[in-house]
Structure 1
């Protein structure tokens, strides 16, 4: 897709000239730290009229409300109070788009009869303790109580696999005096091979939809509800080991507030090329329904009455 196509995908009304449209923020995207690398990966493959810079912020909402940033990428949705302050200042609400997501998949051997596991059990298996106590599979799930073939749980992960992913990391982070029984392997292939060869094995890794052959188990949240791992549960926020990242725009309803290169980036994020970049970076590409939702929000197409993302 060439840069002229990217620039003019947003409604033409957005490009009406205004005296204040081009500000010091016209070449800036505000991002949270763990997303900085993937955003720069996207920028390196996008065709833009001018270079965009990323600015790190732990409070994207503040940067957009107080500092006037036009594009912000955040791991949390805006609070109603923040939306109210933004609307009071600018006269309209911030525009919310899906950006990407990530999730942790829990993998077990195909011969393991377990189908789901609780958050508490995951904390016991992968978490850090002052002293390590062997965990038996019989204590992990009621369906394994009478199983005599499975014995001690063997936990595995991939070294550095979650370095850019916020959720779940808190559960597995060790502090002074703590240690974990999880064995770290060199790469994803080693993890999958190990789990496939060891019946007692369990592992965690960043979710990739193309991993079809390895057995993934569902997660039981703290309320006792069971959630499988798919695009719908991830983007709806229901899957307990997932993060959803949003792109927020200071987008005026009737005239231009984004610079042409910012507009081009917004549109580029929805291309197939961008989805490949997300997946190569350990994140999850947007499914068609999420891209359609973004396009409806941007008035690039008319909404359809059907199931999907709201």
Structure 2
């Protein structure tokens, strides 16, 4: 199957043996500059909507004259909003596609810049009463795909077909997922379904929170959503890369080491001409997000913070390292 994609920063630094797990608390706090005013608009990921709201709230505490408007209908809405000039910030729960990047190059002469701002485990949620202990990537393909590419290509319709015994064996699997505007939908499709189509029976929800609520309301349900949306009414099922492999839960360490198969980066995309400095307002917002203050908000929202090495890598390539010290 097609595996998850990470930025160079995540690949280069998050997997450093043991180091990543002690560095997140060593980030430098945000250092405000002179008074700022102006407007920022963010259009994009629903998965990141709550995070963007927390970051906007924290940033405005330093700069009350800055207005920040946030719209979170799905990652697919970020590229056109950036391209049209409607937004300066484009949060996405997936990397941009080659076609989306090409559109930017055609208009601006340079590629958009994706800043890694947090790490997420795309969780597989079931009702809290469901006894399933582990699911493989192949089983997830059989559950959600119209034409499964895994194993014998046989679709799974009941919980018994993925190993649950007893009274649960005959219960039908009720599926929930995100709509086609969602980067989460695209990520799941690429990494679990190997680019195949979802079953028509998958209930498509407009938001990540709605997926979790739907699973919580139906004992037979399964759905996928960011780990930040976990509630007490659902369980996040451990996942194995393939049959015979060990199952891993969506913990911080398992996500950073990519033992958990559905780890992914969360990004804020910006327009930055490599020949010129980033605009002050966008630059300060990014510095805040990558600071100890901003990453504390990421943890508050249920996601996993970046490491010090990732922070330094991202600030350096944006030309912001010196002013962030």
Partner of 2:63 in structure 1? Answer: 48
Quote how far apart the aligned CAs of 1:104 are: 0.8
1:166 positional shift? 4.1
Q: Output the CA distance in 2 between the equivalents of 1:165 and 1:62.
A: 14
TM-score with structure 1 setting the length? 0.54
CA–CA distance in 1 between the matches of 2:273 and 2:303? 30
What are the ranges of 5 or more consecutive residues in structure 1 without an aligned counterpart? 9-21, 125-132, 157-161, 176-181, 186-190, 192-201, 303-310
Q: CA, structure 1 residues 207+122, in 2 after alignment: closer, same or farther (shift >3 Å)?
A: farther
Within-5 A mapping of 1:19-38: 27-32=39-44, 34=46, 35-38=48-51
What does residue range 135-174 of structure 1 map to in structure 2 within 5 Å?
Answer: 135=158, 137=160, 139-141=161-163, 152=168, 166-167=184-185, 173=203
* Post-superposition CA distance 1:229-253 (Å, at most 9, x none): 4668857999665664311121233
| TM-score, normalised with respect to structure 2 | 0.52
Greater helix content: 2
Look up the match of 1:266.
286
1:307 is matched with: none
> Superposition RMSD on alpha carbons, in Å?
5.3
Where in structure 2 are there 5+ consecutive unaligned residues? 1-27, 146-155, 190-197, 206-213
> Structure 1 pair 215/48, CA: closer, same or farther in 2 (3 Å)?
closer
Following superposition, the deviation at residue 267 of structure 1 comes to: 0.7
| Residue equivalent to 2:7 | none
Q: How does 1:16-165 map to 2 (within 5 A)?
A: 27-32=39-44, 34=46, 35-46=48-59, 47-48=62-63, 50-56=65-71, 58-67=76-85, 69-100=87-118, 101-105=120-124, 115-117=134-136, 118-120=139-141, 123=144, 135=158, 137=160, 139-141=161-163, 152=168
1:97, distance to aligned residue in structure 2 (A): 0.9
Q: Distance in 2 between matches of 1:287 and 1:36?
A: 22
- State the aligned residue count: 244
What is the distance in 1 between the residues matched to 2:132 and 2:82? 49
Q: For the Cα contact (< 8 Å) 2:288–2:294, is it kept in 1?
A: yes
> Cα–Cα, structure 1 residues 203 and 27, in superposed 2: closer, same or farther, change >3 Å?
closer
